[in-house]
Amino acid sequence: MKKIALILFVLISNIVLFAQDNLLQNNYLREGVTLNGRWNYIVDVYESGYYNYRREPHDESENPGAGAYFMNAKPKDKTDRVEYDFDAAPTLLVPGDWNSQKENLYYYEGTLWYKKSFDVPNYDSSKRYYLHFGAVNYFADVYVNGKKLGAHRGGFTPFNFEMSKVLKAKDNFVVVRVDNKRFPDEVPTVSTDWWNYGGITRDVTIYELSQTFIEDYSIQLDKANSKQLKGFTQLNGESKANTQVVVKIPELNISKTYTTDSKGFVEFAIPVKKINKWSDNNPKLYTVSISTDTDKISDKIGFRRIETKGSDILLNGEKVFLKGISIHEENVMRGGRAHSIEDARVLLGWAKELGCNFVRLAHYPHNENMVRLADKMGLLVWEEIPVYWTIDWKNMETYKKAETQLKEAVTRDKNRASVIIWSMANETPQSEERLSFLTNLAKATRALDNTRLITAALEDHPSADDKNIMVIEDKFSDVVDIVSFNQYYGWYGGKIEDLKNIRWEIDIDKPVIISEFGAAALQGFHGDKSTMWTEDNQAYLYEETLPALARIPQFSGVTPWILTDFRSPRRMHDVYQNGYNRKGLISETGNKKKAFYTLQKFYKNLKTQN
C-alpha cells in the first residue's frame, strides 16, 4: 500500500510541478541575466544519470541515488562514491548544438547533460525568478539546485519555468538533460531532410519579476475595423485581479488605463485616427509600453493588415507579390544551428540582396532574432511547425505535441508584424487522418490568431489525361487561405527543357505560392547546362522554372529551395554532397552560385505593384 501511495505522490507532484509555466511574452526586450557561455557536459548514452539500474527515473524517487546527475553531487569524503563530476567535465558553448562543436558528437543522437553554476546578481527574495530557454532540441528536463522545475518536448519553441522557490543568491546550479533521439510519434518524426542538431540551441536567460507581473499581451490592428487597435493584457501574480494596466503608444498620443478582471485579464480596443502602417516597403515599428504599478514592459510593434481577396494577397489593402526564398536555421559558414542576431543579419541580409520581401522559415519556428529582425527590415515571414512528411496522424498524443508547438510559436510571435503566414505542414501524404489532423491544427491556429493567413506546403502531380498539365488535388486546399505547393519538375523527374510546355491548372480562387522548387549544384562545378550538379544546370532550371510558374494565374509568391546549402544525413554523395543538401544558392563557404543571380534578376524585373 505504501508503495502505491508513494508512486501516486510522485506522479501527482510530477504533474503539478512539471506543468510548464505560461510563456513570458516579450522576454526578448526584458532585462535578463544571461546564462549563455560555457556549460559543463556529460554524454550519457545509456542514460544512467537519469534512470537507476531498474530503469526507474532518479527524479521520481524521494531519495535519488548517487548516480542522479541532476543532483550535481560531490563526494562527502574519500569513502564516498560518486561516479560523475560535472566540474571535471569538458564544456560546450550555450547556445549552440553539440554536433557542430565536437567532432565526436557530430552524429550523436541521445542524452547529454549540461550543468551551469551561477550566482544571482542583486538577488532579492521578495522577487520572482524565471528561467527561460529559447529552445532545446528535443527533450529537456530542467533542474535547479537538485530540484526538478519541469520538462519540455519540441526542438524549436521557447519555454520557461519559475524557480523562485529553489533559488539562492549564490552557488546555484542548473542541470539540463537533453535528448535528441528521434521517434515515429514525435514532431518531426524519424525522417527529415535536415540535420538533427541536438542541444541547448538558443539563449538561456534568468528573469527577475515582481510578485505580480505582465505575463502576456497582444496589440494589433483590428481585423474587422482598421480604425482601431485590439489587444489584451494578462497579469500573473497574487494581485493580478482588479489591477490598473496602462497602455501607451506615445507616437500616436495614446495613453489608456484599463482594469483587469478577477483573472488578471483585460481586453481593449483603442480608436486610432491615423496609423503609419507597417509594410515591406515601410517597416514602421511603434514603441508600445504596458505598465502596472509593479511592472513595465515596452515592445516594438508594427501595425498592418494581411488578408486575401480572391487570388490576391493584400497587405494594408494593396496587392502584394511575395518575392521569397526558403531558409533553414543554419549558419552554413560556421556550421550548425543559427541562433544569434549576427546569424540573422547574415541570412536575412542575403535574402534582401536577392531582392526578397518574403522569407519562408523552414521547416520549424526559427529563433526570435529572425522574426524581430524581419520586423525591422521589412521582410514578410512564413512560419511553420515541423509537421513534416510521415507524421503519426492517427496518434492523438502526436496531434497534441504538434498543437503545443504551434501554440508556443503563435504565443511568441503574435506581436510580430512580419509574420503573415502560419503553415501547418510540409509535403504530407494524404489520408483522412492527415486531413483531420491538419484541419484541427488550422482551427486551433485561427482560434489563437485570426489576423494571419493559414497555408501548408502541398504537392502537385500530373493530371490523369495530360502529363504536361500539373494539378493540386488535396482536400486541405479547401481549408487554407493560400494554396502553396512544392514542385521539382526538372530535378526529381521531368526534363528542364520541357518546362516550357508545362502548365499548372489550379482550379481554386485563392492565392498560390510555390513553396519549393530547385536543383542541387556543387559551388564551383561548371559544365554544360544539362549536366547535373553543375551551377549551370541549377541556373538553367531557375531560368526555365520561374517563367513557367509566372504563367499560373493565381501566382502570388514563390520561395525557391533554398538560400544556402545545409547539412542533411540524406545527402551522402562524397563528391557532390558531402553530407550537404546542395540546393542552396550559396555554398557553405559563403560563395554565391550562378542561380543566385538568376533569381535576383527575376525579382528585379518582376512587374508587380509592390
Q: Which is nearer to ligand GCU, 415 or 581 (CB)?
A: 581
Q: Which is nearer to ligand GCU, 392 or 427 (CB)?
A: 427
Residue facing ligand GCU at closest CB distance: 193
DSSP label of 23 = P
Backbone angles phi, psi at 445, to 5 degrees: -65, -45
Q: Which of 474, 380, 469, 460 is nearest to 421 (CA)?
A: 380
Rounded-to-integer distance, Cα 583 and Cα 591, Å: 13
DSSP label of 24 = P
Radius of gyration for the chain, computed over Cα atoms and rounded to the nearest angstrom: 25
The SS3 assignment for 343 reads helix
Cβ-contact 470, 461 below 8 angstroms: yes
For 233, half-sphere exposure in the C-beta direction (CA atoms, 13 angstrom radius) is 32
Q: Least distance from C-beta 330 to ligand GCU, angstroms? A: 12
User: Could you give the string, one character per residue 464-483, with x where binding to ligand GCU holds by CB under 6 A and - elsewhere?
Assistant: --------------------
Q: Which is nearer to ligand GCU, 146 or 335 (CB)?
A: 335
Q: Which of 97, 299, 384, 427 lies at the binding interface for ligand GCU (CB under 6 A)?
A: 427
User: Could you give the string, one character per residue 496-525, with x where binding to ligand GCU holds by CB under 6 A and - elsewhere?
Assistant: --------------------x---------
Give the count of residues interacting with ligand GCU (CB under 6 A). Answer: 9
Q: Which is nearer to ligand GCU, 363 or 401 (CB)?
A: 363
Q: Which of 514, 539, 194 is nearest to 358 (CA)?
A: 514
DSSP label of 422 = E
Q: Which is nearer to ligand GCU, 260 or 486 (CB)?
A: 486
Q: Least distance from C-beta 486 to ligand GCU, angstroms? A: 4
Q: Which of 194, 392, 415 is nearest to 298 (CA)?
A: 415
Q: Least distance from C-beta 432 to ligand GCU, angstroms? A: 23
Q: Least distance from C-beta 193 to ligand GCU, angstroms? A: 4
Q: Which of 156, 80, 167 is nearest to 119 (CA)?
A: 167
Q: Which is nearer to ligand GCU, 59 or 516 (CB)?
A: 516
Q: Which is nearer to ligand GCU, 299 or 427 (CB)?
A: 427
Rounded-to-integer distance, Cα 171 and Cα 193, Å: 42
Q: Which is nearer to ligand GCU, 206 or 421 (CB)?
A: 421
When asked if residue 460 is in the footprint of ligand GCU (CB under 6 A), the reply is no
Residue 20 makes CB contacts below 8 A (sequence gap 6+) with 150, 152, 159, 160, 161
Other C-beta atoms within 10 Å of 352: how many? 13
User: Could you give the string, one character per residue 351-370, with x where binding to ligand GCU holds by CB under 6 A and - elsewhere?
Assistant: ------------x-------
Residue 55 makes CB contacts below 8 A (sequence gap 6+) with none
Contacts to ligand GCU from residues 285-314, by CB under 6 A: none
User: Could you give the string, one character per residue 554-573, with x where binding to ligand GCU holds by CB under 6 A and - elsewhere?
Assistant: -------x------------
Q: Least distance from C-beta 489 to ligand GCU, angstroms? A: 12
Residue type, 224: A
Rounded-to-integer distance, Cα 610 and Cα 603, Å: 11
Backbone angles phi, psi at 173, to 5 degrees: -145, 140
Element (H, E) at 307: strand 306-309
Q: Which is nearer to ligand GCU, 260 or 581 (CB)?
A: 581
Instruction: Output the CA angle 27-380-426, nearest 5 degrees.
Output: 90
Q: Which of 27, 201, 367, 581 lies at the binding interface for ligand GCU (CB under 6 A)?
A: 581
When asked if residue 451 is in the footprint of ligand GCU (CB under 6 A), the reply is no
When asked if residue 426 is in the footprint of ligand GCU (CB under 6 A), the reply is yes
Q: Which is nearer to ligand GCU, 115 or 363 (CB)?
A: 363
When asked if residue 193 is in the footprint of ligand GCU (CB under 6 A), the reply is yes
Q: Which of 530, 462, 459, 461 is nearest to 490 (CA)?
A: 530
Q: Least distance from C-beta 186 to ligand GCU, angstroms? A: 17
User: Which sign, positive or negative, has the C-alpha torsion 187, 193, 199, 200?
Assistant: negative
When asked if residue 329 is in the footprint of ligand GCU (CB under 6 A), the reply is no
Q: Which is nearer to ligand GCU, 53 or 492 (CB)?
A: 492
Q: Which is nearer to ligand GCU, 193 or 392 (CB)?
A: 193
When asked if residue 583 is in the footprint of ligand GCU (CB under 6 A), the reply is yes
Q: Which is nearer to ligand GCU, 510 or 583 (CB)?
A: 583
Q: Least distance from C-beta 469 to ligand GCU, angstroms? A: 21
Instruction: Output the CA angle 332-338-339, nearest 5 degrees.
Output: 160
The three-state (H, E, C) secondary structure of 484-518, written as one string: EEECCCCCCCCCHHHHHHCEEECCCCCCEEEEECC
When asked if residue 486 is in the footprint of ligand GCU (CB under 6 A), the reply is yes
Site residues for ligand GCU per CB under 6 A: 193, 363, 426-427, 486, 516, 561, 581, 583
